């Protein structure tokens, strides 16, 4: 079965497809030929996830979902949060965002943080259901690892000695914020069949 996903992010798509397994075929915005970016004008992760899912539903009138994720750093008052993807500016890279984060944390002892994902699923009737996942950890002093994307090289999950970027996709999918939210969505979809 096809499941439409309102994202251009291939890293997210890989992670989610891995969790979905063979029962679902994920189709992201690239697969659907949608090139324009969906403006994330919300003030919260929930609002942004819903904006993206609603856009896709308006185009296809079928069940679809979107997610929004953010890194919330305690010493920075929860920032970058909803602005994680554009922390260093609208057209900046993952490396720029990480460099700014590390710079803003320089000299601070408290480096606790959490990654959070909210999924907005819109069913075929146009009703929205939300799923949430989070994982606690710390921000490392320097980047470690080359796997993953986003802030993965500087996020070390609680109780582990490696960053998300030092894990395989399977290892990350066992504990990540996105995996927790996605697994809640999968449970819901399976129970709704």
Which residues carry out catalysis?
68
Helices 177-191, 10-20: axis angle to 10 degrees equals 50
- Quote the CA–CA distance of 121 and 143 in Å, as a whole number: 33
- Quote the CA–CA distance of 51 and 112 in Å, as a whole number: 29
Burial of 39 (0-12, 13-18, 19+ CB in 10 A): exposed
Q: 53-85: buried (b, 16+ CB within 10 Å) or exposed (e) per residue?
A: bbbbbeeeeebbbbbbbbbbbbebeebbbbebb
Helices (H), 21-167: 45-60, 94-104
71, 151 in Cβ contact below 8 A?
yes
Q: Which residues pair with 192 in a beta bridge?
A: none
């Amino acid at each position: 079965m096809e499941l439409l996903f309102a994202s251009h992010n291939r890293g997210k798509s890989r992670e989610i497809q891995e969790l979905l397994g063979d029962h679902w075929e994920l189709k992201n915005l690239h697969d659907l030929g949608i090139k324009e970016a969906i403006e994330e004008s919300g003030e919260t992760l929930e609002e942004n996830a819903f904006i993206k899912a609603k856009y896709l539903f308006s185009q296809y009138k079928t069940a679809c979902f979107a997610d929004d994720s953010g890194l919330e750093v305690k010493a920075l008052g929860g920032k970058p949060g909803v602005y994680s993807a554009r922390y260093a500016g609208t057209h900046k890279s993952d490396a720029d965002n990480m460099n700014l984060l590390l710079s803003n944390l320089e000299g601070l002892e408290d480096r606790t943080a959490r990654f959070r994902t909210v999924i907005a699923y819109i069913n075929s009737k146009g009703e929205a259901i939300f799923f949430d996942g989070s994982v606690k950890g710390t921000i490392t002093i320097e980047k470690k690892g080359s796997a993953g994307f986003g802030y993965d090289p500087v996020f070390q999950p609680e109780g582990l000695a490696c960053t998300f970027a030092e894990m395989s996709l399977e290892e990350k999918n066992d504990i990540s914020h996105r995996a927790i939210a996605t697994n809640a969505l999968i449970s819901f979809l399976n129970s709704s069949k």
